[in-house]
């Protein structure tokens, strides 16, 4: 019988761990430490925290392995994790047939051919937020973009106006996001979670109320809730999907938009070039799903933002069976993390990987979008179901902002905060200056 020799998964040495700690303190981000581990240990390594020892996989081959090859041998649902407690039977935490069935019911509302129906809501809600901006008051784009993303998601997918709830539910939304963010619970399962119960109850009550209203007026064929009702789901199962959409669908876009605006503020020349392109290609017309496809340079900025600051910077799984990757044995029940962040900054794929350079996505570098080197929306059959929605939303929101405003950076340096998504903290302070005074009019 052939004996298969497997290599042990490397643990970073004490010296590497010390260097990682220094990088964490310098950059105020755990991800800086992960970069040190990756540089010194390679594409497969283990993290060693008390009670939390995941294997981290990096790079195109590893992510392809996780997302397609070994997909059926990995579980998404981890019963003890806060995300499962929050989403219960949401598509994101289900496995096997149950996942596939729910995903099929969600697909129609997020299909590409629905996007033209959502573009009005995306524009209208962006204008609702940016109409309040003045030339004399800087704004925190992390907050502004959260408001825009919430309004857009609720309007486009659920056909409800979230404006009256924004203030009432603001802290509940933030609490739920905090609940699923990495924290003390990783090493102390029963760590206290102040405010969660109440936040959850308020959100449940709100979501169940809009589901009931939809049941009473089931006359809207294009609405996600109506699709789910027609699929025969119970109110509770629909609530789990709406909670999933609400969290996965707005916190990601918030981070993505805030980071884009941060980079546009930090790179005035890139901002000016993107604005010129918008003026030239749209010629004052309102941005929509189709005309924003002409904005090639803006798309390069968006992709470069997603490369440097992928809102979902890692995926988490558990090995359902003993696995082997590249000669490394990964025993059953091991927690496996695939790192989008480290893959996006892999020195084998990207020149000057930590620098902002939209030319990383120039036409001659097109192939980098493929082959799992660039995977901000994951990959394989369980890639992001909201990808098309998010792509159009991002183009419309950013094109509209640049069409109407010139942005000047204010305030402090930001650091990468690992919340439920990767966020620019403490916020992105920008002074917007209206361009209307220069005689522009917009559609
Ligand atoms: C810039 C915006 C977004 C980014 C970067 C993003 C990223 C991702 C990534 C990386 C995954 C896969 C995670 C993994 O493999 O572990 C994912 C899955 C998912 N995303 Fe997104 N997402 C975005 C927007 C959205 C939106 C707008 C929605 C909903 C309207 C959404 C809903 C979901 C859901 C439900 C899943 C789980 C799919 C499944 O398991 O079948 N996302 N997303």
pLDDT tens track for 385-429: 999 999 999 999 999 999 999 999 997 789 999 999 999 999 999
Per-residue confidence (pLDDT) for residue 1, from 0 to 100 = 47
End-to-end CA, the chain:
73
Categorize the per-residue pLDDT at 442 as very low, low, confident or very high, splitting at 50, 70 and 90: low
- Angstrom CA distances, 442 to 39, 230, 261, 436, stand at 49, 40, 21, 9
- Angstrom CA distances, 38 to 2, 29, 32, 307, 341, stand at 32, 15, 10, 17, 11
Q: Which CATH number fits domain 1-75+313-375: 3.40.50.1440, 3.20.20.220, 3.30.43.20, 3.10.20.30?
A: 3.30.43.20
Per-residue confidence (pLDDT) for residue 443, from 0 to 100 = 56
Per-residue confidence (pLDDT) for residue 222, from 0 to 100 = 74
Which residues lie closer than 8 Å to 58 by C-beta, 6 or more apart? 38, 43, 44, 338, 339, 342, 343, 346
Which ligand 1 atom is nearest residue 340's CA?
A: 10
- pLDDT exceeds cutoff 90 at 360: yes
Which residues in 199-214 are b (16+ Cβ under 10 Å) and which e? bbebbeebbeebbeeb
Which of 384, 420, 421 to mutate for ligand 1's pocket (most ligand atoms within 8 Å of CB)?
A: 384
Categorize the per-residue pLDDT at 34 as very low, low, confident or very high, splitting at 50, 70 and 90: very high
- Ligand 1 centroid, distance to 376 Cα (angstroms): 9
Mean pLDDT of 184-198: 90
| Domain layout of the chain by residue ranges | 1-75+313-375
Residue identifier of the C-alpha nearest atom 14 of ligand 1: 315
> Strand, coil or helix: what is 296?
helix
Which residues in 70-104 are b (16+ Cβ under 10 Å) and which e? beeebbbbeeebbbbebbebbbbbbeeeebeebbe
340: closest CA among 295, 306, 385, 289?
Answer: 306
- Ligand 1 centroid, distance to 440 Cα (angstroms): 37
Instruction: State whether the beta carbon of 176 lies less than 6 angstroms from ligand 1.
Output: no
Which of 75, 310, 386, 390 to mutate for ligand 1's pocket (most ligand atoms within 8 Å of CB)?
A: 386
Instruction: State whether the beta carbon of 154 lies less than 6 angstroms from ligand 1.
Output: no
Which of 248, 340, 420 to mutate for ligand 1's pocket (most ligand atoms within 8 Å of CB)?
A: 248
Per-residue confidence (pLDDT) for residue 349, from 0 to 100 = 92
Residue identifier of the C-alpha nearest atom 12 of ligand 1: 378
- pLDDT exceeds cutoff 50 at 439: no
Question: Looking up tokens 């920008």, which residue turns up?
Answer: 430
Please report how the helices 163-180 and 235-266 are oriented relative to each other, as an axis angle in degrees rounded to 10. Answer: 90
Residue 430's H or E segment, with its range, is strand 429-434
Which ligand 1 atom is nearest residue 314's CA?
A: 16
DSSP per-residue string spanning 30-96:
HHHHHHHHHHHH-SEEE--BTTB--EEE-SHHHHHIIIIITGGGEE---TTSHHHHHHTT-GGG--H
- pLDDT exceeds cutoff 50 at 47: yes
Which ligand 1 atom is nearest residue 153's CA?
A: 30
Mean pLDDT of 358-362: 94
Per the document, the length of the chain is 443
pLDDT tens sequence across 155-167: 999 999 999 999 9
- Angstrom CA distances, 44 to 18, 38, 39, 369, stand at 19, 8, 11, 22
Q: Are 319 and 336 in contact (CB under 8 A)?
A: yes
Per-residue confidence (pLDDT) for residue 45, from 0 to 100 = 96
140 forms bridges with which residues in the sheet?
A: 429
Instruction: State whether the beta carbon of 106 lies less than 6 angstroms from ligand 1.
Output: no
Query: Number of helices (H) and strands (E), helices first, in the chain?
Result: 15, 12
Does this model's pTM top 0.75? My answer is yes
Per-residue confidence (pLDDT) for residue 256, from 0 to 100 = 98
Q: Are 27 and 416 in contact (CB under 8 A)?
A: yes
pLDDT tens sequence across 36-45: 999 999 999 9
Mean pLDDT of 317-329: 96
- Ligand 1 centroid, distance to 248 Cα (angstroms): 6
Instruction: State whether the beta carbon of 103 lies less than 6 angstroms from ligand 1.
Output: yes
Residue identifier of the C-alpha nearest atom 27 of ligand 1: 249
Instruction: State whether the beta carbon of 312 lies less than 6 angstroms from ligand 1.
Output: yes
Provide the mean pLDDT of the chain.
94
59: closest CA among 78, 81, 41?
Answer: 41
Question: Looking up tokens 């004052």, which residue turns up?
Answer: 284
Which ligand 1 atom is nearest residue 394's CA?
A: 1
Instruction: State whether the beta carbon of 343 lies less than 6 angstroms from ligand 1.
Output: no
Categorize the per-residue pLDDT at 441 as very low, low, confident or very high, splitting at 50, 70 and 90: low
- pLDDT exceeds cutoff 70 at 147: yes
122: closest CA among 401, 330, 421, 424?
Answer: 401
Residue 369's H or E segment, with its range, is none
Residue 408's H or E segment, with its range, is strand 405-409
pLDDT tens sequence across 248-268: 999 999 999 999 999 999 999
Cα-Cα-Cα-Cα dihedral sign, residues 238, 242, 245, 248:
negative
In 276-320 the beta strands, taken as DSSP E runs, fall at 314-319
What DSSP state is assigned to residue 334? -
Instruction: State whether the beta carbon of 341 lies less than 6 angstroms from ligand 1.
Output: no
Per-residue confidence (pLDDT) for residue 217, from 0 to 100 = 80
Per-residue confidence (pLDDT) for residue 221, from 0 to 100 = 67
Instruction: State whether the beta carbon of 129 lies less than 6 angstroms from ligand 1.
Output: no
383: closest CA among 312, 290, 437?
Answer: 312
Instruction: State whether the beta carbon of 248 lies less than 6 angstroms from ligand 1.
Output: yes
Instruction: State whether the beta carbon of 385 lies less than 6 angstroms from ligand 1.
Output: yes
For residue 284, the tally of other CB atoms under 10 A from its CB is 11
């Amino acid at each position: 019988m052939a004996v298969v020799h497997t290599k042990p998964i490397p643990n970073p040495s004490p010296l590497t761990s010390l260097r990682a700690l220094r990088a964490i303190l310098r950059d105020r981000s755990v991800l800086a430490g992960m970069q040190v581990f990756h540089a010194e240990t390679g594409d497969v390594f283990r993290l060693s925290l008390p009670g939390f020892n995941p294997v981290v996989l990096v790079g195109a081959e590893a992510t392809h392995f996780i997302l397609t090859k070994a997909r059926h041998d990995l579980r998404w649902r981890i019963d003890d994790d806060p995300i499962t407690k929050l989403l219960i039977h949401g598509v994101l935490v289900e496995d096997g047939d149950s996942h596939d069935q729910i995903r099929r019911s969600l697909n129609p509302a997020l299909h590409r051919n629905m996007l033209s129906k959502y573009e009005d809501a995306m524009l209208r809600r962006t204008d609702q937020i940016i109409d309040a901006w003045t030339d004399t008051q800087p704004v925190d784009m992390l907050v502004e973009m959260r408001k825009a993303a919430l309004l857009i998601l609720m309007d486009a997918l659920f056909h409800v106006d979230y404006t009256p709830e924004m203030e009432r539910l603001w802290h509940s939304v933030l609490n739920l996001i905090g609940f699923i963010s990495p924290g003390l619970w990783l090493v102390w399962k029963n760590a206290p979670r102040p405010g969660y119960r109440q936040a959850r109850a308020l959100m449940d009550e709100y979501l169940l109320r809009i589901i009931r209203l939809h049941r009473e007026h089931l006359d809207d064929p294009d609405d996600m809730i109506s699709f789910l009702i027609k699929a025969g789901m119970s109110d509770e199962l629909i609530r789990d999907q709406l909670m999933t959409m609400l969290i996965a669908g707005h916190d990601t876009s918030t981070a993505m938009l805030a980071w884009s605006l941060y980079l546009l503020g930090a790179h005035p020349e890139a901002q000016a070039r993107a604005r010129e392109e918008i003026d030239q290609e749209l010629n004052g017309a309102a941005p929509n799903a189709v005309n924003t496809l002409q904005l090639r340079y803006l798309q390069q900025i968006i992709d470069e933002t997603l490369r440097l600051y992928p809102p979902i910077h890692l995926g988490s799984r558990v090995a359902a069976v003993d696995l082997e990757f590249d000669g490394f044995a990964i025993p059953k029940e091991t927690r496996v993390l695939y790192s989008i962040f480290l893959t996006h900054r892999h020195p084998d794929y990207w020149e000057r990987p930590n620098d902002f350079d939209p030319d990383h996505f120039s036409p001659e570098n097109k192939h980098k979008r493929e082959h799992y080197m660039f995977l901000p929306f994951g990959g394989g059959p369980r890639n992001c179901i909201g990808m098309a929605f998010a792509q159009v939303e991002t183009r419309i929101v950013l094109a509209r902002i640049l069409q109407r405003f010139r942005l000047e950076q204010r305030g402090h340096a930001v650091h990468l905060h690992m919340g439920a998504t990767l966020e620019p903290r403490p916020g992105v302070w920008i002074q917007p200056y209206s361009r209307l005074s220069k005689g522009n009019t917009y559609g």
